[in-house]
Structure 1
């Protein structure tokens, strides 16, 4: 493997890991902080991708306006879902949470089929980001993929600062440890959890929207990303934003280079990595927070 090929695969692994982190960050917020096993989280990623496809003609094909409108709709969807469904799951057994959220997967898939059908779709890369940069004499790398990585990094940094350096983040972390104490201080924990859930849904949907131009949009795409996101959460440590970040980057490296160097075993390398890390640190790489 020469230097230019190695650099391309490194950039691919970074982009994949950062996209994975965006989806997994919403999952670790809902699962680790709110205590709900949300099997429907991958569907929010799928919804985001389909919104990127469906909203584009309605806003004149402006990709950035599509992202903005889709993000607003995702926040509204998350807020309403928490109010209508998830607010009743906090004190329920995990089996009830699993059954409820699995039912939501079926509902989302059926609604998607009724609205846009079961065909495979694609989203065009915006013209301003459609170029490539040279890597060596013959290799090039798409500018849009670099844009995706940069946006993911900025969003990851922003979310980390919110949860570790702001009063809102302090209230959310306190609410995950002792809900009754936070309520006794006069904080509306129900509204706080609603905001957290809406943020988790919006982040996953945003990941789906920005990934749409570099991958196909197809039925059931959320189910595949859900499994790997649970692996990210487990490796990083349940409820750990920082852990999810490092775990997603690690999985991105293992998966990308595994497909290049060990294609026959690439399908199991991520799960072998998870097993080895859990043997070393059974609670994941980092503590919650």
Structure 2
């Protein structure tokens, strides 16, 4: 079996062209499978341009792996995004090195040490944006208390000049046959807030910040109010088939323009 050492430094292996291509592919998948990808207007992140950032997210679904590259390429094009991935998966899909993934050996001291070394080296670069899902497995967004694996707190304890950005994700159904992909950014956890804390206290602060962000997103999701969100991508609306055919005919007979969406709120243009 190939050793994780064979992967080497992730920085020279990452390709900006591959990152843009993969982001476009994932955007196409999101458009095809969701009604829209929306970001809560409140809390839109204002990140210091000369400081590395760790964006740490809850992990509700397989779709996180599609949504996060879209966020990285659409919202933070000036930053170099990286992320850890299971080493076995990376051995199988070596092209993922080209889009910034680096290997992590699960459940081993050597894997944890490698993660910390690689993470520290990446976060020493002020343009780094490191994406992490520290829950470690798919977890329902309503589950409380929030429980994160200790690697993120250990990394931040060793990288004191880094901003931690909590990101909440949900995929609820509203009024269409396809779900919404909803994102909310929490208040950045600044280095000064963690400077005098021990690692268990850093862990608690990170869990608290992510939990508050997830709770706020849950309120936004329940409200089903599109005006709270900016629409980053827009997919297809309506059911199709005979039902939408009848609705289209009804709109035509009344001299109205057919809108396949079932919701009554405004539909924003996607970026």
Bucket of the pairwise TM-score, normalised by the shorter protein: under 0.3
Greater strand share, structure number: 2
Find the structure with the greater CA-based Rg. 2
Greater helix share, structure number: 1
Q: TM-score, normalised by structure 1?
A: 0.27
